Each structure stands twice: as C-alpha cells, then as structure tokens.
Structure 1
Amino acid sequence: MTQTSLSPRAWAELLLLGLLWGGSFLAIRTALDEIGPLTAVLARTGIAALILLGVLLWQRGPLPRGWSLWLRLLGMGLLNNVIPFTLMAWGQLHIPSGLTAILNATTAIFGVILAALVFADERLTRRKGLGVTLGFFGVTLAIGPGALRSFDLTSLAQLAVLAGTVSYACAGAWGRAMLTGLPPVSAAFGMLAAATAVMLPLTLLSEGLPSLPAQPATWAAILYYAGFATALAYLLYYRVLAMAGSGNLLLVTLIIPPIAIALGSLVREETLPPQAYAGFALLVLGLVILDGRLLRRRGTLNRV
C-alpha cells in the first residue's frame, strides 16, 4: 500500500493529536482522585457527544437516523468507548499513567492480528508477523515477566488496560465493516451518544448519582479529556486521516507514551521501572516494522 506523504500541516496536526491524547492519561488520573471511573467515563462520552452535536448542527451535517444505523453505532460505542474507557480508567487507579499509555500503544498490534483474521485483504505477512512478535515481547517486558507469577491488583490492572486495547482493535474492524460511508463527525457523535446511553444506567447502578466535583483541578481535568482529548481529538483524527492516510496516522501511537510518561513524572511524580522503558523500545521497533516504510526505504537505497 502506498503511503501518503506527510505535509508540514499534517505533521503539525499529527503532533497536536499526540499531545492531546498523551495529556488525557494525566487528566483522567487527576479526575479519578475525586470521582469514580464510571462517572469519569460518563462525563467523557456525554460532554464530547454534546460538543460534536453542536459541531454537526453548525455544519448542518447529517444526524444518524434509523434503528439499523443506531444499532451499528451502539456496537461501535461499546467497543471504542464504553469497554476500553472503563477498563483503562479503572486500571489507572492501580498503575502509573505512563505505563497505561505504553500498554495502550499495543492497540496497533492487536489491530493487525484482528484485521488478518477478519479481512481477506489484510493477511499477516512475514514482516507483520515479526512486528507483532516484537510488540508482544515489548509488552511482556513492560509488564514484567514475574507479574503473572505473583498475580495481584497491579497485574489485574495491567491486563484490564490490555483488554481495553483489544476492544479498540475490535472497534477498528467493526467500524470498517459496519460504518463505511458514514460522515466522520456523524459517526463520532452517534458512537459517543450511544456510549453515553449505556454509561448512564451503568454509572447510576454502580456509583450512584454523580455529585458535582469540589476541586477545580477535577473540573479542568474533565473538561480537558472530554472536550479536547475526545471531541476535538476525533475531529483532528479524521482530518489527519484524510490528509496523510492510515499508515501515517499510526505514528501517533509513538507520540502518546512519551508525553504521558513526562506529564505523569512532572505532575504526579510517577516513576516507571527500567523494564517499562525497554519494553516500550521493543514495542516501538515492532510498530516501525509493522509500518514498513523504513524497510522499504532501505530496500530502495540498497537497489540504487
């Protein structure tokens, strides 16, 4: 597949997207100091859905209509929002936000595997197989090989985050199979609105009626991860996708963890063991091999 080149504008928006998503891990962890994980997710999906509804009305874009479409959007909302947001928010109660971001980068690894299983045109080549294998070695190293031997709450939190990345990967396949042709902003709004409809009763049953946060930092965190790292980020995501293609968009996966690690260290004094950084380095190598451009460039140079 030919890669679209990255223009300076596409680079700038890609970096901005990485900054927004990288900062979301700190914002979510800050909000969790005062509110529960389900309440945090409800605020994220609800506020973002309202913002995107406003964008749709301003642009006079089409609103999703019909039970069939809403059921497909519900599936997307479950796989792309309800399940991963909830698992990762709960996981962040027990592991550093930087480690959560590193594990989140495995979404691309699981996405390649799932696509190979579901779509005929996404077969698992030797190059992709090597990238996936290195990625899994990186994850194992980041978690720590002894984590499962002494299984505890931290181990469970790490597995919860990984389960969230599997859900993200399933969402990618679901979106390709079920939502092709739907305008991006309409799809994002419908997905988040459906997710909010699921999160509301779950939150009320599990955590009770949400109370208004007392701390300004909590309000700032919620507004950031809902307004900027979700609503605005989805708009940026589709802009970069249109300008640079899905292959270049994969680069955002490499931008997010360093930002999350740096913010967690500076603001919350989080520390990660050396094995986490080594695991991330292996994961980056796996993602670079999956992307394939460096290998193609090297092959081109060797033929000159």
Structure 2
Amino acid sequence: MDRALNVGLWLLLAVIWSSSYAIIKIGVETIDPAVLVFGRMGLGAIILVAVMLSRGVRFEMSWAAWRIYFITGVMGTALPFFLISYGELHVSSSLAAILMGVAPIASVVLAHFVLAGERLTKRSTFGVLLGFGGLILLFGIDALSAIGSHLVGQIALVGAALCYALNTVVIKRAPKRHPLEMAAGSMSVGAFFIGVATLVSLDVSNLATPSTESVIAVIFLGVVPTAFAMMIFFFLVNRIEAKQMSQINFAVPVGGAIIGVLWLGEQLTTNQLLALPVVVLAIYLVTSKTVVRAAAVMSVKR
C-alpha cells in the first residue's frame, strides 16, 4: 500500500510540474518573468500557511527550524528560479532542459557520500546516465552544439540543477518535521527573498498590462505547481530515497513535451517518441530495486 501511494504521488508530482512548462509560456507573454515567479511563490506561500494553520500545525519558532526553512526556501526555490530565469535569457529551452538533467546525477552522487543506505551502484549509475542521454535524445543532439556559446547562462542553469540536488539531500538529512510546516516555511522564506530581489531590480515603468490569460496562468501556477506540489514534495521526500526523488527531473521535461503537444498543439517529433521509453527505463533502473527493498523492510517491521 505504501509503495503504491509513493508511486502514485511521484507520478502526480511529475504530471503537475510537467504542466508548468506550458502554463509559464502563457504567463510570460504579458507578465515579466520576475513578477510571475514572485506572484506564484507569494500565492503559494499564502495558501500553504493557511492550510497549515487550518490543520492545527504551527511553525517551530527556533533558530534550527528557521535555518532549515531558509536553506530550503532559498536553495530549493528562490535561487534556482532566478538562475533558471537568467539562464533561459541566453540559452535555448532545449539545452536548458538537458543542463537541468545534472540534478538527478548530482543527487545520486551526493546521496552516496552523505546519506546512509543510499550507496551508488552500477545499476543506479547506469540509470541516471541513461536518463541524461534520454534528455539529449528528447531535445536533439543539435542542442548540445550551443554549449560554450554563453557560458555564464549555462553555468547558471547547472547551478540551479545543483541547488535542487543539494536541497533534496539537505531535507533528507534534516530532522523530520511536518510536511505542511516544511512546505509553508520554505515557500514563505523563498517568496520573501524573491519579493525583495524583484522590488530592487524591477523597472516598473516598462511593465506591460497583463492579459487575463496570463493572470490566470499565474494563479494556476501558484495554486497547483507551487502550493499543492510542494505539499506532495515534502510529504514524499521523507518516504523515498533522494535518488528516487531526483529522477523526477528526467520525467518532467518529457511530460512537458507531451503536454505541449496535446495542449499547445506543438509538433511531436521522432526524438520525443524515442526519448520517452529511454527515460522510463532509466527511472525504472534507479528506483525499482530500492523501492522493492524498502517495501520488504517495511513489511518486516510490521
């Protein structure tokens, strides 16, 4: 039962985050990317705090707790959002997606050295490398030809991927807290950080009037891929291994490509058709053996 719940939530989270690609594309048509990020995170923080309080959960008012909120809020949301936004000003979305594939590779390596019981195996190593190859196949080998053409932007994207990897490992090592508390605390700190940075850097005089579609896109992003997804993430990250959690970074670009075809009418390429089974196989190789073992251990404990 626990295994089915974990798999179901993992797939739901992948679908939710996959949808954000298409929604962001609609939102940035008339809303500045920095404003969009602050809007979705601010709304997400309000929702998460409200849900947390309604469930009788409260923030732990200690330096240790707020240190974790700060680390996960800045490193897991605010900083990578900024790095991705900057990187995609200079790097194609296809190369950006491939560079973000560094996240699950880094997660597996970090987990090997930091987390007990998450040792690097030949199977998991082959799985993450196969997944990275699947991303290259998904967006085409030609996307790699741009590597080095704007090094700062590409470093920013790799930095965002490393932030996500570090964030997953930090949460796994941190003392266990209520998922709602972690989600609300992390998002609140991240939203504050982004809000201050946006107010300092934004040129208000050049802002366009947002369309109704873009406003709806920001609301959707705040409610579903931000607030709801963060609740699932912090619930799930304490139930499965870091390397299992990180594989979602392979699934999301594939899901985003499929949603783009079904929703936005984008063309389905041969690369996309070939990449899907490769990425699915990679995720299976990394997660299946450990999931079965974890389920066996839990059944023994019962």
TM, length-normalised to structure 1: 0.77
1:170 to 147, 166, 179: 166
* Structure 2 segments unaligned to the other structure (5+ residues): 294-302
User: Displacement of 1:116 after TM fit?
Assistant: 1.2
SS at match of 1:5: helix
Separation (CA, whole Å) in 2 of partners of 1:16 and 1:99: 25
Name the residue aligned to 2:36: 40
Cα offsets for 1:96-149 (capped at 9, x unmatched): 5x8866765664333112211323432211212221332333344445545454
Separation (CA, whole Å) in 2 of partners of 1:286 and 1:13: 19
| Cα 1:182/1:106, change in 2 over 3 Å | same
| Cα 1:294/1:14, change in 2 over 3 Å | closer
Separation (CA, whole Å) in 1 of partners of 2:16 and 2:291: 29
Separation (CA, whole Å) in 1 of partners of 2:7 and 2:281: 21
Question: Residue type matched to 1:200 in 2?
Answer: G
Question: Residue type matched to 2:40 in 1?
Answer: R
* Structure 1 segments unaligned to the other structure (5+ residues): 298-304
SS at match of 2:76: helix
1:248-267 to 2 correspondences below 5 Å? 256-267=252-263
1:175-254 to 2 correspondences below 5 Å? 175-178=171-174, 180-209=175-204, 214-238=210-234, 245-246=240-241
| Cα 1:278/1:157, change in 2 over 3 Å | farther
SS at match of 1:6: helix
Question: Residue type matched to 1:61 in 2?
Answer: V
Q: How many residues align?
A: 290
| Cα 1:254/1:139, change in 2 over 3 Å | closer
Asked if 1:108 corresponds to 2:112, the answer is no
Contact 1:22 1:257 in 2 (8 A): yes
Q: How high is the sequence identity, in percent, across the aligned residues?
A: 24
Name the residue aligned to 2:23: 27
Separation (CA, whole Å) in 2 of partners of 1:177 and 1:290: 20
TM, length-normalised to structure 2: 0.78
User: Displacement of 1:70 after TM fit?
Assistant: 1.5
RMSD between aligned alpha carbons?
Answer: 3.7
| Cα 1:87/1:49, change in 2 over 3 Å | same
Question: Residue type matched to 1:6 in 2?
Answer: A
Asked if 1:70 corresponds to 2:66, the answer is yes
| Cα 1:278/1:141, change in 2 over 3 Å | same
Contact 2:138 2:254 in 1 (8 A): no
Separation (CA, whole Å) in 2 of partners of 1:148 and 1:103: 9
Contact 2:44 2:222 in 1 (8 A): yes
Asked if 1:134 corresponds to 2:130, the answer is yes
> Which segment is superposed worse, 230-239 or 136-145?
136-145
Asked if 1:6 corresponds to 2:4, the answer is yes
Contact 1:109 1:135 in 2 (8 A): no
Cα offsets for 1:5-38 (capped at 9, x unmatched): 315xx66655443332221111112111122222
User: Displacement of 1:273 after TM fit?
Assistant: 5.5
